[in-house]
């Protein structure tokens, strides 16, 4: 019985540590620590039902995190959905050591997933490009994992990116450079975000 009690206590401690290690990047009520990026013709950015709504713009619309952000060994998790439009509803720009990439969800007509840019090629033209059929109005659980060696991403439980960095040159398309170090954009599309969390990888 004592062994079972000790095991149970250790499990609870581990769960509690993981919860404490998660940092919420959105409080559900305001854009504290977020900046609306001044893209020409951008859509309205608003809060509704504990979600960030990035309105459809003429081209790109989005927000940028204004506080410190890690460069490696972290995970980002969030829920995202396309409300209106037919292009990417979550273009997540993020750091990889001293470089940056964008995880594109739903680009190039609505179904392209991948990383932009690798060796100068965007997600539609490099090996990370993949097809995922997104339904409008449906929430998707997104998880991004960045380490010194790899970049991985999941939609729900499906791994959609598994990229070894090695000697690849990582960069951004010029259109989204202002969303670094961490930002989320849409293209001619209204998207919604909630439960944005940062988790540091310590193992």
| CATH number, residue 191 | 2.60.120.560
Closest CA to 55 of 190, 184, 194: 190
Mean pLDDT of 81-92: 98
Average pLDDT, the chain: 92
Range of the domain at 42: 25-200
Distant-in-sequence, close-in-space partners of 23: CB < 8 Å, separation ≥ 6: 197, 198, 199
- Cα–Cα distance measured from residue 138 to residue 109, given in angstroms and rounded to the nearest whole number: 17
- Cα–Cα distance measured from residue 56 to residue 78, given in angstroms and rounded to the nearest whole number: 20
DSSP notation for 23-48: EES--SS--TTEEE---TTPPPEEEE
In a domain, 38, yes or no: yes
Give pLDDT tens digits for 104-158: 999 999 999 999 999 999 999 999 999 999 999 999 999 999 999 999 999 999 9
Residue percentage of the chain with pLDDT more than 90: 88
In a domain, 11, yes or no: no
In a domain, 10, yes or no: no
Query: Quick one: pLDDT at residue 19?
Result: 42
Which range among 10-24, 76-90, 100-114 shows the weakest confidence by mean pLDDT?
10-24
Asked if 63 and 37 touch (Cβ cutoff 8 Å), the reply is yes
In a domain, 16, yes or no: no
In a domain, 127, yes or no: yes
Asked if 153 and 142 touch (Cβ cutoff 8 Å), the reply is yes
- Confidence at 16, pLDDT banded by 50, 70, 90: very low
Mean pLDDT of 191-200: 98
Query: Quick one: pLDDT at residue 21?
Result: 74
- Cα–Cα distance measured from residue 154 to residue 78, given in angstroms and rounded to the nearest whole number: 11
In a domain, 124, yes or no: yes
Query: Quick one: pLDDT at residue 73?
Result: 98
In a domain, 17, yes or no: no
In a domain, 50, yes or no: yes
Number of domains in the chain: 1
- Residue 166, pLDDT > 90, answer yes
């Amino acid at each position: 019985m004592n062994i079972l009690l000790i095991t149970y206590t250790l499990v609870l401690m581990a769960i509690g540590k993981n919860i404490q290690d998660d940092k919420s990047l959105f409080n559900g009520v305001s854009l504290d620590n977020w900046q609306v990026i001044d893209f020409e013709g951008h859509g309205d950015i608003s809060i509704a039902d504990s979600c960030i709504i990035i309105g459809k713009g003429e081209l790109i619309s989005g927000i940028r995190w204004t506080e410190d952000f890690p460069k490696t060994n972290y995970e980002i998790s969030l829920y995202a959905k396309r409300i209106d439009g037919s292009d990417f509803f979550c273009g997540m720009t993020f750091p990889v050591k001293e470089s940056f990439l964008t995880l594109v969800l739903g680009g190039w007509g609505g179904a392209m997933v991948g990383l932009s840019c690798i060796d100068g090629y965007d997600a539609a033209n490099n090996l990370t490009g993949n097809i995922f059929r997104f339904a409008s109005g449906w929430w998707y659980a997104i998880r991004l994992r960045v380490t010194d060696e790899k970049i991985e991403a999941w939609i729900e439980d499906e791994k959609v990116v598994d990229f070894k960095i090695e000697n690849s040159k990582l960069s951004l398309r010029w259109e989204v450079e202002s969303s670094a170090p961490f930002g989320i954009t849409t293209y001619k599309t209204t998207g919604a975000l909630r439960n944005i969390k940062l988790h540091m990888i310590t193992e």
